[in-house]
Amino acid sequence: MGNMSYCRFQNTLHDMRDCYEALQSGETLSKDEHSAMEMLVEICDRISGEFGMDHSVEAKNRMNFDDGSLPDDQFVAFCQFEDACEEGGYRPQEFTIAKEELQGMGYEGVELYETLTKLAEKPSIKSCVESGTITNREDLESVLHLPGKTFQVKKSL
C-alpha cells in the first residue's frame, strides 16, 4: 500500500532514518541498492535546496507548513480516523456535522478522533448523531459498543 497523503512524511521519515543508519554503519550495498542510494541522496539534496528548513515564511508557504499542527497522539488518532474513512468509502469531510455534534457533547482531542473512527465504522450511528437522534455521550457510548455496522434507534416521545 502506498503512503496516505496525510501521513506520507511521517511514514517516509522512519524509512529515511533506517537508510541513514545503514549508511552510517558502513553497510555493504548491492549494486542496485547503491544505485538507489545515489538517487535517494540526489532527491534529498533537491528537497533540501528547494524546501530547506530555513524557517522563512516563503519556505513554509512552499511546504504548506502548519505551525499549529496536531500533537502526536492526536495526529495518530486522526490518521486512524482517515484510514477508517478510506476503508468505508468515505471522505473525512463527510464527518463535519458529526464532528461538531461530538464537540458539543464534550469530545475533544484524541477522544474526538477515536469516536469519529468508530462512527466511520458504524455509519448508521453517525446518521443518528447528525440527525439529533443521539444527543449525549451516554447514549452514544452505549450504542457504539454494539456489534455490527448498523442498528436502529426507536425514540419515544
> pLDDT tens across 4-50, in order?
666 778 778 888 888 888 888 888 989 999 999 999 988 887 887 77
pLDDT digits (tens, 9 = 90+) for 52-99: 655 444 444 444 434 456 788 888 888 888 888 888 888 888 888 999
Q: For residue 142, which amino acid is it?
A: S
What pLDDT, on a 0 to 100 scale, did the predictor assign at position 62?
Answer: 44
Tell me which DSSP letter residue 107 carries.
-
CA separation for the pair 40, 53 (Å, rounded): 18
Query: Is residue 149 a contact partner of residue 123, using CB atoms and an 8 Å limit?
Result: yes
What pLDDT, on a 0 to 100 scale, did the predictor assign at position 12?
Answer: 85
Torsion of Cα atoms, 101 then 106 then 110 then 115, to 10°? -50
